[in-house]
Chains A and B, each alone.
Chain A
Amino acid sequence: MASLKELKGRINSVKSTQKITKAKQMVAAAKLRKAQESAEQARPYAARLTDVMGSLASKITISENSPKLLAGTGSDQVHLLVVANSDKGLCGAFNSNIVKAALTKARSLEAEGKTVLFYLVGRKGRAVIKREFPKQIVHMFDTSNVREPGFNEAEQIADELVALYEKGTYDIAHLFYAKFRSALLQEPTGQQIIPVPTPAASANTAASDAVTQYEPEEEEILAALLPRYLKTQLFGALLENAASEQGASMTAMDNATRNAGDLIQKLTIQYNRSRQAAITTELVEIIAGAEAL
């Protein structure tokens, strides 16, 4: 059995770990509120833009000279997987779930004989993907020097993606991130972002029967809006990811704190037992010595 001193040392070490996890949990709870707020504030813009895109897309027909971002390159050989992860750990299975979803997709695409490329956002998840697909990483976008990924980052990512697309590096892009359902539940999601899937025209835009005038022409507006729509989608994904990360972190740290509490309790009982055993042995020795006299 471990000595008293050893046990005491272990109890202390678990206690200090518990302090860390508790602090991280509280930080995550505070940050989660903020992340949720900014996700909510981004919603009106995304909703409006989706509406506009929907009503525009319903008016034009996809032909050879419509923008490539909408119509596609005409091939589906090379797929780019954009994987958005966080920069920091201590958030449970958050990052590995996203990576797992992306890897599953990558394997099924490879099984179909397609080429798969990766574009990584965030620091975590790099190692795993690097190990599995060492030569297929196009770029790793660094978000570790900003506190929260914002619209500027989304803009940079979108610009790079569009540039790569126009160079013909890939034909179809998918985005992987965790959708925020609640603090307890984050869903790793994959969706196609390029070519831009046309949003369905919502009921309220279709209902107004007044003829809308366009300046410039519908197609030109659409061409101007497509990159913006892409940026908005990426921005939305980054925000969802940020909220999910904090939610996952909060849950994981809550569990860790509770586990540490259980462990401390167990160790304390063990400590008290061995202390009592030592005292009893000592007493028995003294009594036996006294009787021998």
Chain B
Amino acid sequence: MALHFELVTPAKLVRSEEVHMVVVPGTEGEFGVLAGHAPFMSTVADGALKVYKTENAAPEEIVISGGFAEVGDKGLTVLAEHVEG
């Protein structure tokens, strides 16, 4: 099962895709989100999100700042004020 991952900034919807896992740099420590994660909300420290497209793929890094992560039934949503690149 794939995890639905969305990355949103005030300017636009940056990503909306199915991925295997995302590692988020939470303010109280990094956490990885797989499909079926329990509902969870956390503020995100400025840093890099690691997006694993498939189980063994090399992670893709997206640097964000001013972020907030929400895990719900629909998947993972990361709200960020700024996204690099």
Contacts and interface: CB of A to CB of B under 8 A. Distances in A.
Interface of A: 38, 41-42, 44-46, 48-49, 52, 56, 150-151, 154-155, 208, 210-216, 220-221, 224-225, 228, 231-232, 235
Size category of the B interface is 20 to 34
Given A151-B11, A215-B41, A208 B73 contact: yes
B39 A228 contact: no
Interface string B55-67: 0000000000010
Contact of A42 (B11, B43, B81): B11
B9 A213 contact: no
Contacts of B9: 45, 151
B27 A216 contact: yes
Contacts of B41: 52, 56, 212-215, 221
Contact of A52 (B40, B68, B73): B68
B81 A41 contact: no
Nearest to A210: B39
A213 B41 CA distance: 6
Most chain B CB within 10 A, of A46, A48, A154, is at: A48
Given A52-B41, A210-B38, A228 B81 contact: yes
Given A41-B12, A52-B68, A231-B81, A215 B73 contact: no
